[in-house]
Structure 1
Amino acid sequence: MRIAHRLADWLERRWVVPAYSGWVLGAFSLCFLAAAINTMAGWLYVISGVSIALMVIAATLPVRSLRSIHLQRLPIQPISAGDELTIEIELHNHSSQPKTLLQIKDLIPFVLSQPVCGVIETILPGQTHRWIYYQPTQKRGLYLWHTIQLRTATPIGLFWCRRERQLPTTAIVYPTVLPLSTCPLIDEIGQEDSPQYFSRDRRSQLANQDLTRSLRPYRWGDPFRLVHWRTSARYGELRVRELEVFTGGQEVIICLDSASPWDAENFEQAVIAAASLYFYATRTQLGAKLWTASTGLVQGHRVVLEALASVNFGETPGNTPPPDQPIVWLTSNSVSINSLPAGSRWLLWPDRTTTPKTMVRDRPGILIQPEQQLQTQLQSGIRD
């Protein structure tokens, strides 16, 4: 049975394979031909000959129908996890005959879904038909695929013909970005328990507080410390200062420990946390960068999102180690916390063997609790 299925699949991809009606007509043709040979009746020869001729024509037309169809795949716009991918494929009919009753199948990765099928009734001569479908996503990632199948039995329906076209494409699904209203982990990054540090940081803030580049309307999530109250009172709505330089000269580097072994679910939470911390830092006028084991330091919204979409745990470390300055360290390895630079903060996703009592650490941070919401924990205060 398996051999017959493989043979039928090979015939359909290389030439044609009979449909159920084709098998029935073929069996009747052989029966009429056998009866004609046995009885020497001319009308039986006519019936069998017409049936065989019809089958020959039905076997050649589907192949010709698919030959002059050109396919083009349009670029797929990146989305965030939970949204729908918009996938568009254009079919151009370059022949002088209409193309009818086509089946199209896009062989998307199995981690997204089963192959998506569609039916196209007619493509007029010289015309283009655009096939669009929407694919829901649940998980961030970088998805690549390339195969599209066209199948038809037109016009008689006695034989199926299938051809594959190679149209490589890439779909980027960004991780979810949590809308953080506050984040002490970022707000207190780099602070030292030294009066000299606070004095120097305060002087830096006083020196930069008047370097306002422009004023814009308040957007949800903007820190209230950037609100220009005098202008807000004049216009009757909140106006926020956009600074020419970063407040206090601060630079926040979010480091995802992607070289360590992780629990798969914990790692997905860590990627979401890294994206959320990065965008919170940029929204509060801080210079934010992202570091992973494979990419090193990257900056820029699109570059960071693409790096987080494709990152995996257990990666081979590159040539760029984490910077030797205060960082936000996202890890599952509690031992690595003790070697962080002074002023750093950490987020730890513990395994089953790690408990607060067994951890040894001299840097403040947050021990992520799996039973609590991640957004709530990121917005909570730092627990030493």
Structure 2
Amino acid sequence: MTPRALVLVMMAAATLFAAVNVGVGWLYALGFLFVAYGVIGFGRAALALRGLRVTVRHAERAIAGDALECTVSLSHPGRGARHYLSLLARPVGQRKPWWIFRGPLVPEGWGHTLVESLEPGDRARAAIRFPTPRRGVYALPDLVVQAPAQGMGAIHRSFATPGEVLVRPKVVDLPFLPWFPTGHAVEGDAASAVSDQGAELTRTVREYRTGDPLRTVHWRATAKAGELRVKESEGEAARGGVRLALDLALPVGDVFEHAIEVTASLCTYAHERGISMRLISQGGEPSTQDLDGQLDWLARLSAPVQEPIERTLAHEKATVLVTAADGGSEFATLQVYVGTGRTPARAISCPVGCDVRQALGSSHGA
């Protein structure tokens, strides 16, 4: 209810109270006129939503911080035009308020648009944006349609929007990073991957990934594990481009989300420049190692793990490691380590709240 509606209620109550005490007929008439004005206003608003048909179409993916674009189609088979219908979009992942009109008619942070007129039998289309503040997999919130009640408030009705939306982590557009590996093999590394007989040496046996050739299947390991296993040669490892490891043993909250954002930005940076990038972690890895597969995998990460990243790095050499300098503390500082081996060639500090472009693009580092 708006301040105008509250004033109307107070005027009606005062007028009827005076009419009872004084016994003057015209005061009764005036008081009931105020009441009728309010009832008619809210009644017309309720009728405007009666029989309304709403269809919402939306994309399957969005980026955290950006809005999810949706197309809304409205129609009604009744009589008379419907005017000034407001469409409201609750932020994705936000809890449904128990009373939507406890605050302003358009709650803060909600997407909204206005349909000025809807004639009977016609179909109106409108675009609306659902805010997506945080990454994850969410059911799309109901669309709320409001009809005005002569300036005194509004009547609302919720319409279900079936389907889920995958909100990918925010990606920062990074400048040129002089420290970032190019993914090219060193000549000595490639040469050492070949045996004296000219055959490439097998480095490890790993899970099958989409695109692996059939000739690399390790049949004995496949039979033992019950699922496809493939051989990875030393030459493939040397030519495999950049291996970015994300440490998932991080505290829940800002540090964990910040690490995912930095990782997504580095993956995007590599793919945009044609650098082969493989993303690994102690919690598994994307089933497809293209950019879409990596961003979708990062979006679905739900919680940190307890297993230390060192176990994974013992089998998978990482050229870039995103981890925390001071372990599981809630005040941990995110670090990006560059280089293989126990002693990284470079350590870049990227704490929560920092300018990611400036932190990663800096030419300085330990």
CA distance 1:340–1:63, shift in 2 (3 Å): same
Which residue in 2 is equivalent to 1:95?
78
* Residue 175 (structure 1) aligned with residue 161 (structure 2): no
Amino acid at match of 2:160: Q
Which residue in 2 is equivalent to 1:129?
124
Amino acid at match of 1:172: V
Question: Alignment partner for residue 43 of structure 2, among 60, 68, 74?
Answer: 60
More helix by share: 1
CA distance 1:176–1:157, shift in 2 (3 Å): closer
Aligned-partner Cα distance in 2 for 1:21–1:164: 28
Question: Alignment partner for residue 319 of structure 2, among 334, 342, 345?
Answer: 345
Deviation at 1:135, TM superposition (A): 6.7
Which residue in 2 is equivalent to 1:210?
none
Aligned-partner Cα distance in 1 for 2:249–2:297: 14
Deviation at 1:349, TM superposition (A): 3.5
CA distance 1:98–1:251, shift in 2 (3 Å): same
Aligned-partner Cα distance in 2 for 1:171–1:19: 41
Aligned-partner Cα distance in 2 for 1:184–1:157: 59
* SS of aligned partner of 2:266: helix
User: Can you give the 5+ residue segments of structure 2 that lack an aligned partner in the other structure?
Assistant: 96-107, 201-235, 336-340
CA distance 1:153–1:47, shift in 2 (3 Å): same
CA distance 1:277–1:121, shift in 2 (3 Å): closer
* Residue 291 (structure 1) aligned with residue 276 (structure 2): no
Moved more, 52-61 or 66-75: 52-61
Which residue in 2 is equivalent to 1:105?
88
Contact 2:71 2:126 in 1 (8 A): yes
Q: What's the CA shift string for 1:287-331, capped at 9, x where partnerless?
A: x443345554421332221122333551477xxxxxxxxxxxxxx
1:1-384 equivalences in 2 (<5 Å) = 19-20=5-6, 22-24=8-10, 26-27=12-13, 30-31=16-17, 34=20, 38=23, 56-76=39-59, 78-80=61-63, 83-109=66-92, 114-134=109-129, 140-142=135-137, 144-154=139-149, 156=150, 160-168=154-162, 170=165, 172-176=167-171, 178=174, 180=176, 185=181, 187=183, 197=192, 250=240, 253-261=243-251, 264-265=254-255, 268-269=258-259, 271-273=261-263, 275-277=265-267, 280=270, 284=274, 286=276, 288-294=277-283, 296-299=285-288, 300-315=290-305, 336=310, 340-341=314-315, 343-347=317-321, 348-351=323-326, 362=342, 364=344, 366-370=346-350, 373-376=358-361
Deviation at 1:96, TM superposition (A): 2.3
Amino acid at match of 2:326: D
* SS of aligned partner of 1:167: coil
Amino acid at match of 2:192: Y
Amino acid at match of 1:309: A
* SS of aligned partner of 2:72: strand
Contact 2:84 2:147 in 1 (8 A): yes
* SS of aligned partner of 1:368: strand
CA distance 1:52–1:96, shift in 2 (3 Å): same
User: Can you give the 5+ residue segments of structure 1 that lack an aligned partner in the other structure?
Assistant: 1-7, 13-17, 206-245, 318-332
Which residue in 1 is equivalent to 2:101?
none
TM-score (norm 1): 0.56
CA distance 1:82–1:297, shift in 2 (3 Å): closer
Q: What's the CA shift string for 1:203-226, capped at 9, x where partnerless?
A: 999xxxxxxxxxxxxxxxxxxxxx
* SS of aligned partner of 1:121: strand
Query: Which of the two has higher C-alpha Rg?
Result: 1
Moved more, 308-317 or 48-57: 48-57
Amino acid at match of 1:19: A
CA distance 1:345–1:195, shift in 2 (3 Å): closer
TM-score (norm 2): 0.58
Which residue in 2 is equivalent to 1:330?
none
Deviation at 1:175, TM superposition (A): 3.3
Deviation at 1:266, TM superposition (A): 6.8
Aligned-partner Cα distance in 2 for 1:55–1:264: 48
Contact 1:183 1:380 in 2 (8 A): no
- Identical residues among aligned pairs (%): 17
Aligned-partner Cα distance in 1 for 2:142–2:301: 25
CA distance 1:26–1:365, shift in 2 (3 Å): same
Q: What's the CA shift string for 1:108-158, capped at 9, x where partnerless?
A: 14879722344443222223333434577776555554133333344x556
Amino acid at match of 2:50: R
Q: Aligned pairs, how many?
A: 300
Aligned-partner Cα distance in 2 for 1:94–1:269: 52
Contact 1:278 1:289 in 2 (8 A): no
